[in-house]
């Protein structure tokens, strides 16, 4: 099998841990894996079975997301340098369009999202992964950043966001352990930033 033209750096980790902010700082092309959520009308969506949010869609369960579509996009980017990917509107619980992601010749790109760890085993088997990180911060920091972001973007009703945030705070350790078990390495945003910057090819300066 020929070597891929590009390879992916996976940024997994809890919602609100700083993955998107880190991706923006690095300046590499970014595949937003949260755009591969299922539509809210999909009958296969999992539901929360206990607690105050019982009966609501469990958007934090991997079955609410289409791993095969995400892997197809990663393969296309690694092979061809370009892929057509969905655009997802969280407030509307559905895909609202498509966009073309072109790497522009970059040998590296980022794939980030709360289910990013799910692509790591297959990506490693196929030789597509350059590195895989689970980005983490203190659970209270993650809780506050996630809540303020979700309220600012009107993602869900405030009470739902508060209850979801509390549940995610308690589950953060399990999320991190799952990502590590699938091949990610636990790091802070600053650790990931330094390591990925060191991976980038040196920029030539004009003569």
pTM exceeding the 0.95 threshold for the entire prediction: no
Cα dihedral sign for 146, 189, 121, 112? Answer: positive
Q: How sure is the predictor about 122, in pLDDT bands with cuts at 50, 70 and 90?
A: very high
Alpha-carbon distance 56 to 92, whole Å?
Answer: 15
pLDDT at 206: 43
| Segment 51-75, tens digit of pLDDT | 777 777 887 788 899 999 999 999 9
- Residue labelled with tokens 């995400």: 70
pLDDT higher than 90, residue 198: yes
For residue 75 the two structure tokens come to 């393969």
pLDDT at 67: 95
* CA 47 vs CA 86, 91, 118, 163: distances in Å: 23, 18, 19, 15
Q: How sure is the predictor about 186, in pLDDT bands with cuts at 50, 70 and 90?
A: very high
* CATH architecture observed for domain 7-199: 3-Layer(aba) Sandwich (3.40)
Q: How sure is the predictor about 4, in pLDDT bands with cuts at 50, 70 and 90?
A: confident
* CA 73 vs CA 15, 29, 104, 184: distances in Å: 22, 13, 16, 20
pLDDT higher than 80, residue 2: no
């Amino acid at each position: 099998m020929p070597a891929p033209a590009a390879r992916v750096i996976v940024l997994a980790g809890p919602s609100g841990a700083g993955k998107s902010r880190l991706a923006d700082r690095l300046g590499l092309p970014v595949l937003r894996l949260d755009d591969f959520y299922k539509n809210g009308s999909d009958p296969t969506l999992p539901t929360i079975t206990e607690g105050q949010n019982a009966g609501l869609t469990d958007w934090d369960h991997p079955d609410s997301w289409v791993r095969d579509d995400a892997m197809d996009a990663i393969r296309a980017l690694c092979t061809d340098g370009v892929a057509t990917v969905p655009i997802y509107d969280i407030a509307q619980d559905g895909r609202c369009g498509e966009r073309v992601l072109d790497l522009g010749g970059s040998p590296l790109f980022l794939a980030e999202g709360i289910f990013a760890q799910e692509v790591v085993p297959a990506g490693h088997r196929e030789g597509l992964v350059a590195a895989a990180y689970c980005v983490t911060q203190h659970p209270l920091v993650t809780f506050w950043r996630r809540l303020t972001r979700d309220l600012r973007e009107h993602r869900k009703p405030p009470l739902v966001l508060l209850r979801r945030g509390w549940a995610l705070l308690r589950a953060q350790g399990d999320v991190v352990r799952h990502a590590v078990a699938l091949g990610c390495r636990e790091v802070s945003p600053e650790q990931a930033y330094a390591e990925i910057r060191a991976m980038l090819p040196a920029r030539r300066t004009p003569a």
